[in-house]
A and B are shown apart, each in its own frame.
Chain A
Amino acid sequence: MSDSPQDGTEEGPERLYVITSGRSSASNGLDLVTLIVARTVPTAGMQPEHAAILSLCQAPLSVAEISAHIGLPVSVVSVLISDLLDEQQVLTRPPVPPADLPDLSLIEKVIHGLQKL
């Protein structure tokens, strides 16, 4: 919660503000489990955080996993992914659309998958 990061590095809000150029992630439509796939590879001169995301997403990876691997909050990572989407450097594979109730075939697939564990 309010614990200091375990590796001792202080992360003030200012640093996050710089990474995102002060933007917030409101309404960019990314879910914690939206899968992100890179369309390109990192290039020299790219903002390091953008390059890191491209490098991670050479195979599909969820927004939550990207956040965990690069150690930045989900909202910050979402802004960075939006940049890459705008530049068509990544694709998203949105989560199964939230409905009031999911469809039966989806649930059956999950049951089948879990039974194999």
Chain B
Amino acid sequence: MAFKSSELAEPPNEERLPHTASAAVKVVIVGGFGVGKTTMVGSVSEIRPLTTEETMTQAGAGIDDRAGVEHKTATTVAMDFGRISISDELVLYLFGTPGQQRFWFLWNGLFEGALGAVVLVDTRRLEDSFDVMGRLEESGVPFVVAVNSFAGAPDHTLQELRSALDLPSDVPLMSCDARHRDSSRDVLISLMHYLHSLVATEPS
């Protein structure tokens, strides 16, 4: 990923936004390693998913600022994302979170201003989802939970999963196949309907 002025990676013409594009919103797709985040981004994105990166400077855990200076290490964290043009003016960006959970909430601005999040769940590793759902609740980011169907995964009813995930009854839970555009789109639509219901019931 080095910048080379001689071979600048221009976006293909069909990947350019219209000049009328004037506002963008984002949705974050979170989930454990290998759960299908990038697959979901790719199945609904109008552009080939891109990868952006950030250099994280990490202080050792539990060390105060002053003492932490000599322990800081720089780590490059990558994130895949895609794009859907909602209209000539409005663009929706979908970000898949980095593989390691500890980076999700360190990445300034990833969740800030996001409309909401999709928590993508693999029933073989439900425990991966607890921490992130807790963090989303703390951060006030509304989310829906989508169970990605994997061959060979335990067959649970959504009701069993809701109870296993300790998910409040108002948070939408659905199964999906992240490889399919229609299925991934429906997850996003469910998130939007959920947001709509939150806004509509918000006392003004």
Contacts and interface: CB of A to CB of B under 8 A. Distances in A.
Contacts of A31: 109, 112-113
Nearest to A71: B1
B99 A102 contact: no
Interface string A53-83: 0011001111011011111111110000000
B161 interface: no
Nearest to B196: A107
B91 interface: yes
A92 B53 CA distance: 21
A56 B196 contact: no
A94 B112 CA distance: 13
A89 interface: no
B50 interface: yes
A71 B2 contact: yes
B27 to A, nearest CB: 9
Contacts of A102: 25, 115, 195, 199
Interface residues of A, number: 59
Given A68-B50, A93-B23, A111-B193, A48 B17 contact: no
Interface string B74-106: 111110010111110011110100111001000
Interface residues of B, number: 64
A117 B53 CA distance: 28
B50 A110 contact: no
Contact of A106 (B25, B75, B85, B95): B25
Contact of A56 (B10, B92, B112, B189): B10
A100 interface: yes
Given A31-B109, A96-B24, A67 B199 contact: no
Contacts of B3: 48-49, 52, 70-72
Top 8 closest A-B pairs, CB basis?
A113-B86, A98-B113, A68-B50, A71-B1, A9-B2, A33-B24, A48-B5, A59-B16
Interface of B: 1-3, 5, 8-11, 16-19, 21-26, 44, 50-55, 74-78, 81, 83-87, 90-93, 95, 98-100, 103, 109-110, 112-113, 115, 140, 181-182, 185, 188-189, 192-193, 195-196, 198-200, 202
